[in-house]
Structure 1
């Protein structure tokens, strides 16, 4: 959502009311509404309610970030801001920061030594504008995962694949067994996100960075990306037997063994955990589709609108510090399926999939997320293009590749 000068000029941010001196009710807006996500965000609410005099008022918005973000921005520029809101790491809040609508957290970051404890440093950099810190990163989420139903492959009489290449070889057996090879929901961000995973795995890190970081449209038109678009077209066929909308519905198809696999970020682990599934026994995981050993380091952060109320500001900064405390980091990320942003917390009890992620993080085998490299407007254009391709079988891989390259050519 663009913030026009006219809209900002008409905005008068009003103070959020306190329920009592030094004890405020804090409305926190987010889009974590699936079962696993709700269990995770409850860890934040419990920490605030149990460790401060303040109260968490849950402001969940169903439908994902594409639905929630415009609502949050409208609340802020309309003079009715929440106490805090979730965005992804990256450039989504740039215009709000530039307009002076978000609370400067630099004093909290310095007091809590965020520069030393946040790993990788790019997460804090994504919260920093003109040398000032405006958000509290709470996790590392990576898109670079493929989740596999062990039982589905057993039913099809084939071994659980260890790479995308091997997965493609199992598709005929899966289809013969009546199992949808690849689960995909109907939301545009799912299709574009899956394409990004395939691009890193099949075109390679160098080509992906050339396109996403350097905005090199010739690489996007080239043979490395042609391979990705051909594979993406095949993936469209692999998913044809499943008609679901939300990402967690697609994950549930893998949990129920009616679909064999899903390309989805590590937040899917929250759904597996909620269903009582055990990594390595009930499901398997392939970082980088088993083709490249790498994670992109996206994730979630909380921003805090300026309210003009000293008591609310004190409560906001108290919450920002609490979100990064070791105990809260472990509790939240264990439930969410994500990795903590602190490198000094005890995660000895994590499952084998989370451990794979931690090992890649420790080895420095990471890339920035697309949210950090591309503007929200560019991402919206790519989302629209990928969902158009996914739903229009008359559109060829060559067609979508050229349109994709044109978007990259004008990307900001």
Structure 2
């Protein structure tokens, strides 16, 4: 977070102005159809407490929204609550004393006994104190396949990445884009991470992302990933969309064979009335290595010196993690709940796959939990350049290894 540190040193912290009693402006970047339907469950539940949710949606991805959110908090114009991802994104805001300590509420409600896996709450914890409430488990480790697209080429829906790659030329010959991919670095980097787990394996990924082992990043396991990424780049060459949900729509409409995207894509399939297992197939771990990274979203509460606002913040934090709200939100979002004690019998085929993997302990930490925002940005910039150029696998691998070598 080198850029963030510079902001802390250069921006004067102004007095935090209180919101109206019982009103909280809540910033987030959930603006697609499925996301908007999900976040409305939070808003309805909070309004039912007698408080008022003032929606502060920021169009675009988290990469667009986070600088805006951070700038407002640093500039003395904090919102009442804000979405961020699990991990280190708020670390320096916490260090600066700008985020509210939720430890007393968490202890009173027994969050440590409810949140599963425990790493989610640990990612909200700094020096033994809890500063955020996790609201879902999102995993990048999925590929979504269009039944219609494969029916058009009279080919069985693939069961893994190798079968998908083998079918790609036939899709292309039929005028179908093999792989839908939005032209944004965070999407391309996410897909690369999924391919890494499927092709290089968890041990190699852990050495690189957790241990920051640049030698492994330069080694043969990662070389195979970058070669596969060249193939994926070719598969996506005619995917001329920017936003992830537009890429998902290509799969929904049979214009693309598949998309590597996190499980939030499920919300878009549901909004389109598609049924998992009938209209589309989901393959965790690309059908090769069925494991879920336990990333996702959490809400933080900037410090505001007003008792009524603080009370509303605690009411929202409690609401977000309540069992009924966890079920209502996550069924629409396509994510898994953070509570291990809720009934999800209504979950679709893909969510059930995720729950089975989660319950079997097939989980791993997300990159957000191990890499700073500064390092993530460097990797995303590299991936954006790689996916939109003819950069060789070897050159991309060497540049990636250099980033890992200097990662903090």
TM bucket, shorter chain:
over 0.9
Inter-partner Cα distance in structure 1 for 2:215 and 2:111: 39
Is the partner of 2:228 in helix, strand or coil? helix
Cα deviation for residue 241 of structure 1 reads 1.6
2:309 matched to which residue of 1? 312
Q: 1:29 aligns with which of 27, 41, 59?
A: 27
Correspondent of 2:90 among 84, 88, 93: 93
Per the alignment, residue 14 of structure 2 pairs with 12
- Measured in 2, the distance between the counterparts of 1:241 and 1:7 equals 43
> 4+ residue runs of structure 1 moved beyond 4 angstroms?
none
Structure 2 Cα separation of the partners of residues 401 and 6 of structure 1: 34
Tell me, which stretches of 5 or more residues in structure 2 are unaligned? none
- Aligned with residue 399 of structure 1, among 395, 400, 403: 395
Q: Equivalents in 2 of 1:396, 1:14: separation in Å?
A: 50
Would the aligned equivalents of 1:143 and 1:197 in 2 still touch at CA under 8 Å?
Answer: yes
Deviations along 1:185-209, whole A, 9 cap, x unmatched? 0111000010000000000000000
1:325 aligns with 2:322: yes
Name the counterpart of 2:273.
276
Deviations 1:241-300 (A, max 9, x none): 220000000000000000010000000000000000000000000000000010000000
Question: 1:57 aligns to what?
Answer: 54
Residue 6 of structure 1: how far off its partner (Å): 3.4
Structure 1 residue 177 displacement after superposition? 1.3
SS in structure 1 at match of 2:4: coil
1:241 aligned to which of 238, 241, 254: 238
What SS is found at the alignment partner of 1:2?
helix
Give aligned pairs, total. 405
* Contact kept in structure 2, 1:267 and 1:338, CA below 8 Å: yes
Q: Distance in 2 between matches of 1:237 and 1:173?
A: 14
Residue number in structure 1 paired with 2:219:
222
- TM-score, scaled to structure 2: 0.98
1:181 to 178, 182, 185: 178
User: How large is the RMSD of aligned CA atoms in angstroms?
Assistant: 0.8
Unpaired segments of 5 or more residues in structure 1? none
The CA deviation at 1:318 is 0.9
Q: TM-score, normalised by structure 1?
A: 0.97
Deviations 1:116-158 (A, max 9, x none): 0000000000000000000000000000000000110011111
1:7, distance to aligned residue in structure 2 (A): 3.5
